[in-house]
A and B are shown apart, each in its own frame.
Chain A
Amino acid sequence: KQEVTQIPAALSVPEGENLVLNCSFTDSAIYNLQWFRQDPGKGLTSLLLIQSSQREQTSGRLNASLDKSSGRSTLYIAASQPGDSATYLCAVPDSSYKLIFGSGTRLLVRP
């Protein structure tokens, strides 16, 4: 059964710092991996989706990488801003295309 883990559970950094969020999964036979952002009390916003054949995807200051063989993905945020403060979730689909989520990393960027 696929399990998804995110480390760290919480992270606090000063504004301007580059940071990396980690996501690991136990079954490397994935179709893709999706990174989401969630603000308190809100729904999920899709940030990046990496296909199984891709190594990375970029959107603005965000870069997500995927290493299927080691069961890992990282989300790199460059030049962090207070507006980046949120919970970041990663998820992979199972064989029925349902998403299996990690518990998230709660990020605080201090001004």
Chain B
Amino acid sequence: DGGITQSPKYLFRKEGQNVTLSCEQNLNHDAMYWYRQDPGQGLRLIYYSQIVNDFQKGDIAEGYSVSREKKESFPLTVTSAQKNPTAFYLCASSIAGTETYEQYFGPGTRLTVT
């Protein structure tokens, strides 16, 4: 089956620890995205990548880092510099650079930092 997988579904960490969220897609999409969702605030873009080995900051990139070494994978690291990391994180992918494009989303990872 084609799709986007995110792991783990739930993640718990102590404050001050870095944590990496996994996102893998087998849709052969060039573009991948990370969003953060907080209650009542909708989705906000953290980072996006339109091609391997290249990525750009979104609206709320501070305290996060990403890599795009393979087309299928776009891991997100939440660093200790992120002041409020507890949130629901969603990964998405799409065919880049066309007007007829649709974003597909993974099932999400809920991160809780205490």
Co-assembled chains A and B: yes
* Chain A contacts to B: CB under 8 angstroms: 31-32, 34, 36, 41-46, 49, 51-52, 89, 91, 93, 96-99, 101-104
4 other contacts beyond A96-B48, A97-B97, A99-B103, with CB at 8 A cut-off?
Answer: A46-B103, A91-B43, A101-B42, A104-B42
| B104 in contact (CB, < 8 A) | yes
B104–A46 contact, CB under 8 A? yes
Report whether over half of chain A's contact residues are helix, strand or loop; otherwise say mixed: strand
Q: Which residues of A contact B64 (CB under 8 A)?
A: none
Q: Which residues of A contact B88 (CB under 8 A)?
A: 41
B43–A98 contact, CB under 8 A? no
Binds A, one of B12-20, B79-87, B106-114: B106-114
Q: Which residues of A contact B107 (CB under 8 A)?
A: 42-43
B94–A42 contact, CB under 8 A? no
| B74 in contact (CB, < 8 A) | no
Q: Which residues of B contact A99 (CB under 8 A)?
A: 33, 43, 45, 92, 103
Residue of B nearest to A6 (CB): B42
Complex CA–CA separation, A91 to B102 (angstroms)? 11
